[in-house]
Amino acid sequence: MPAPYLVFKSVSKNFGALEVVSPSFDLEVKRREFVVFLGPSGSGKTTLMRMVGGLETPTKGQITIDGQPVEGPDRSRGMVFQSYSSFPWLTVAQNVAFGMKYRLDISPKKKKERLAHYLALVGLTDFANVYPNKVSGGMRQRIAIARTLAAGSEILLMDEPFGALDAQRREDLQLQLRLIQQQDAKTVIFVTHDVDEAVFLADRIIVFSKRPARMLEEIDVTALLGTERTLALRDSEAFFHLRTKILRLVRASAGADE
């Protein structure tokens, strides 16, 4: 068993009288694991994510990474949101490079190599010199992913990043994200309320209750479906069976009053 990498230890969070994460949340994420937080809107998923990002502090408990408590934002933990704003006056390549602009520890030569690597990884090499308003929403999300990775993120925090995309683009990006994550060996926490998206992407799904967020169930998707995610898998009986089971669970929890 590899040592846990990202650890939530007895974490709770209130905003004044509002209990958002309660009574306490515990989770151990392994390095290179793809964990999906699945749960109803307003349950506290974004808040948990922002605590990993160092943008919120737990009211009680602690979040640690490699044993070090999270004490503020850090480039090793990059966030990708639904509405990513790229700089319209910079090209795709310049937008991606922006993430490492202030890295004095990386030589200009190395920066060039990294830029080429991450543009290729997200399939944007041919669009390097195009301006973001000329590319699709899906490509803009790929810019955001590449920029975050180029900046040196070891943990990708993705908060419903594909929520604004149409179904086809969304499937494409899910496929690509899973490949990128496997190739680039990053740890991902991904928030969604889309069950199919969760099953397709996750090594492990954490199903949350309504607010205050509690873990209702943990599903080891990789144990059931393996690590390789393809379009064929999406059409398989095993996939359908699992997504139906989780959908029932989510519906039951959404309907149940606290």
Residues that bind Mg ion (CB under 5 A): 46
Q: By C-beta, is 91 or 209 nearer to ligand ADP?
A: 209
DSSP three-state, residue 220: strand
147 belongs to the binding site for ligand ADP (CB under 6 A): no
User: Which residues contact residue 223 at a Cβ distance below 8 angstroms, ignoring those fewer than 6 apart?
Assistant: none
* Candidate ranges 12-20, 77-85, 174-182, 242-250; the one touching ligand ADP (CB under 6 A): 12-20
Per-residue tokens: 56: 């919120």
Binders of ligand ADP among residues 238 to 257 (CB under 6 A) are: none
Closest approach, Cβ 211 to ligand ADP, in A, equals 6
DSSP three-state, residue 91: coil
User: Which residues contact residue 8 at a Cβ distance below 8 angstroms, ignoring those fewer than 6 apart?
Assistant: 25, 26, 27, 28, 48, 61, 63
Residue type, 244: T
- Contacts with ligand ADP, 15-54, as mask; x by CB under 6 A: x--x-x------------------x-xxxxxxx-------
Q: By C-beta, is 44 or 132 nearer to ligand ADP?
A: 44
| Residue nearest ligand ADP (C-beta atom) | 46
Binders of ligand ADP among residues 182 to 211 (CB under 6 A) are: 211
Closest approach, Cβ 165 to ligand ADP, in A, equals 18
Closest approach, Cβ 39 to ligand ADP, in A, equals 6
User: Which residues contact residue 183 at a Cβ distance below 8 angstroms, ignoring those fewer than 6 apart?
Assistant: 121
Q: By C-beta, is 142 or 210 nearer to ligand ADP?
A: 210
Per-residue tokens: 172: 């494409």
Q: By C-beta, is 45 or 178 nearer to ligand ADP?
A: 45
Q: How far apart are alpha carbons 181 and 229 in whole angstroms?
A: 12
Q: Identify whether the C-beta of residue 184 lies closer than 8 Å to the C-beta of residue 149.
A: yes
Closest approach, Cβ 257 to ligand ADP, in A, equals 16
Q: How far apart are alpha carbons 15 and 20 in whole angstroms?
A: 7
User: Which residues contact residue 172 at a Cβ distance below 8 angstroms, ignoring those fewer than 6 apart?
Assistant: 138
Closest approach, Cβ 21 to ligand ADP, in A, equals 8
Q: By C-beta, is 146 or 207 nearer to Mg ion?
A: 207
Q: By C-beta, is 118 or 208 nearer to ligand ADP?
A: 208
Closest approach, Cβ 158 to ligand ADP, in A, equals 12
Sign of CA dihedral 84, 177, 75, 134: negative
Which single residue is written with the structure tokens 């680039």? 184
Residues at the interface with ligand ADP (CB under 6 A): 15, 18, 20, 39, 41-47, 211
